[in-house]
Amino acid sequence: MVDRPNKPSALSATPGLPAQAQVNITHGSQKVTAVLPTGESVEILLYGATVISWKDKKGAEKLWLSEATKLDGSKAVRGGIPLVFPVFGPPPPNHATSKLPQHGFARTSRWEFLGKSTSESESSEGGADLSVKLDFGLSSASLDPQTKALWGYAFNLIYSVTLGTGSLTTSLVVTNDDERPFDLQVLLHTYFRIDDITAVTVKGLEGASYVDKVDAKKEKTQSAEVKFVGETDRVYTPVGGPSAPVEIVQGGKTVFSVVRDNLNDVVVWNPWSEKAAAMGDFAPKDGYKNMVCVEAGSVRGWQTLEPGDAFEGAQTITISG
């Protein structure tokens, strides 16, 4: 991880060794970057453990990041994959999370980089597919006193980001280290980069019940593919369960496929023109045309975690085509 100026040159050029993923900590130990030999890359800020970039082997960016977002730890990142925990949206009154800011504190806390691991599997073409897993940790012991005062439970979070050839997996393990049970919600708030929101549909939500947050939180049922003609903010519970893929289709072609593990809900969001214009950290103001959020989570209700128990949820995003 740390460059050694007197490192023997033979270590980086030993004959017969397969190419390895390159992992570096940069920007004053503020960001972790991983690059596969095939060219795929990912960048994660230690602030919020927020994934801010994911590029395919051709160098094409797959995540949308606001040009006006702050990356210095002064404010939650607008774009990439912010991590929502332990509450989604504005906290409800008379609840243990009621004093917390919207979307909780995980996305605005400084995480610790715990290390990397690599794996290799045989691909269908007979070669080897290399992946690298980056682990990050956050616990109640590392929170600032102000945050502890808002939500005083003892907990431990392990967040893993796994970069593969054509895929990205993000997973979170929550452990209750307290003597009391606590409620939690989790959301992987993924901003996908697209070409044109009016040419995009989302498949895999047909028949699902959802809460329409743009229409007074009415309960509705999705009859067909999701299309975008204005502000969209919906919380779905897909009928096929987490293992059934939710696909982002652009111009009739699937560009992303999302499969969930133990995350029953999917939030679909696009602010459209008026709301984008009202957000100070959203830029360019017409950037809503080039992004769509399809977010895996557990947010329609609460997960109650008993002392000593753990909750784990994950998503795997695959690039199509």
3-state class of 142 per DSSP? helix
Distance (Å, rounded) from C-alpha 281 to C-alpha 47? 17
**pLDDT tens digits, one per residue of 76-135:** 999 999 999 999 999 999 999 999 999 999 999 999 999 999 987 655 444 456 999 999
Domain boundaries, the chain: 21-317
Choosing from 40, 43, 247, 295, which is the catalytic residue? 295
Choosing from 43, 103, 189, 247, which is the catalytic residue? 189
**pLDDT tens digits, one per residue of 47-92:** 999 999 999 999 999 999 999 999 999 999 999 999 999 999 999 9
Q: Identify whether 295 is a catalytic site residue.
A: yes
Check whether 17 has a pLDDT greater than 70.
no
Q: Identify whether 189 is a catalytic site residue.
A: yes
Q: Model pTM? A: 0.92
Amino acid 29: pLDDT? 84
Q: Tell me: is residue 180 an annotated ligand-binding position.
A: no
Q: Which CATH architecture does the domain made up of 21-317 adopt?
A: Distorted Sandwich (2.70)
Q: Tell me: is residue 303 an annotated ligand-binding position.
A: no
Q: How far apart, in Å, are the Cα atoms of 208 and each of 183, 205, 212, 226?
A: 25, 5, 12, 11
Q: Could you give the angle at the alpha carbon of 107 between the alpha carbons of 140 and 53, nearest 5°?
A: 135
Q: Tell me: is residue 110 an annotated ligand-binding position.
A: no
**More confident call, 4 vs 46:** 46
Q: What is the mean pLDDT of residues 215-238?
A: 97
